[in-house]
Homo-oligomer: A and B are copies of this chain.
Amino acid sequence: MGKLLIVGSLAFDAIETPFGKTGKILGGAATFIGLAASQFKLESAIVSVVGDDFPKDYLELLKQRDIDLSGVEVVKGGKTFFWEGRYHNDLNSRDTIQTQLNTLGDFRPVVPKHFLSADVMMLGNLHPNTQLSVIQQMEERPKLIIMDTMNFWMDNSWDELMQVIAKIDVITINDQEARQLTKEHSLVKAAAKIQEMGPRYVVIKKGEHGALLFHKNKIFFAPALPLEEVFDPTGAGDTFAGGFSGYLTQAGNISFDSMKNAIIHGSNLASFCVERFGTERMQALGEREIKERLMQFKELTQFNIELT
């Protein structure tokens, strides 16, 4: 089985959407990535840090998915990363009410020995130096390094971010971030510029408007599944990344056709994530409904025009 190394936050989230409000619940990029990737046949590990306020139940929940947590540092007397946010009515934008970095501020990732030769590395959104440190620890370069990032690092750690971007194979960012990174409005032009910075593959996430995959002169597009109601978008991007990286780890194949399928699997899993608060839907998700929804994705996008 292929090995997937996941690096990212384990966190508390507090979320308000037009549909309601949560207390502190389980969140964090690595959590969503790990839950999504666990739908595939692979070995996975999370590298992260939490305080000793992080419930054992949360760690147990991930362990039950056969996710190796030996790379998760529990800081005695430390507090876990906390994010609180409120979504606007259309759920396309949100305000951060507070971010408490806590133990994540001093995070020194250590890759477990068993994963120093991982096949695929999924770097969740973190300080670029943290991402770089993980890449440098590997015994051999993974076949595929995928990286998520965000505008915050473009604003505050440009040089460090560029160093990481030069070393990866796939970047996943949203449309606004792609524009900020390249000063290009056209996503086609932006994706071309980003490929010159390092990554051979550029995935641009457009939320409810789907996701684009760029590689040389090839483009693939997957829509978001049209839903009656999006309940809470938190974690959708990370769930997408988990499905994307999880599928590729299982497939052991990084052809463009395989990447296409990975985009669809990522979009498919993300469509479940947004149906409930936090990780609720992803925790309860079964194989059968995943397949049924993949069938919906086919019906949504596949057509038959003969070209002679």
Q: How far is the CA of A265 from the CA of B212 in the complex (A)?
A: 21
Nearest CB of chain B from residue A207's CB, rounded to whole Å:
10
Taken together as a complex, chains A and B put the C-alpha atoms of A301 and B261 apart, in Å, by: 11
The reply to whether A187 and B226 form a contact with Cβ atoms under 8 Å apart is yes
Query: What's the least CB distance linking A156 to chain B, in Å?
Result: 26
Q: What chain B residues lie within 8 Å of A302 (beta carbons)?
A: 301-303
Which A residues from 269 to 308 make CB contacts under 8 A with B?
291, 294-295, 298-305, 307
How far, in angstroms, from A43 to B190 measured CA to CA in the complex?
Answer: 43
- A193 to B: closest C-beta gap in Å: 12
* A220 touching B303 in the complex, CB below 8 Å, given contacts A206-B209, A209-B206: yes
Interface of A is mostly: mixed
CB distance from A305 to the nearest CB of B (A): 5
| A218 (CB) vs chain B CBs: closest residue | B299
Closest-CB distance, A56 to chain B (whole angstroms): 37
For the complex, is A219 an interface residue (Cβ under 8 Å from B)? yes
CA–CA, A177 to B275, complex, Å? 25
Please report which residues of chain A, range 189-211, place their CB below 8 angstroms from some CB of chain B when the two chains form the complex: 189, 206, 209-210
Establish whether residues B221 and A226, one from each chain, have CB atoms under 8 Å apart when the complex forms.
yes
B261, A303: Cβ atoms closer than 8 Å: yes
Point out the residues of chain B lying under 8 angstroms from A257, CB to CB. Answer: 303-304
Residues of A within 8 A of B (CB): 89-90, 185-189, 206, 209-210, 212, 218-221, 223, 226-230, 257, 260-261, 263-265, 291, 294-295, 298-305, 307
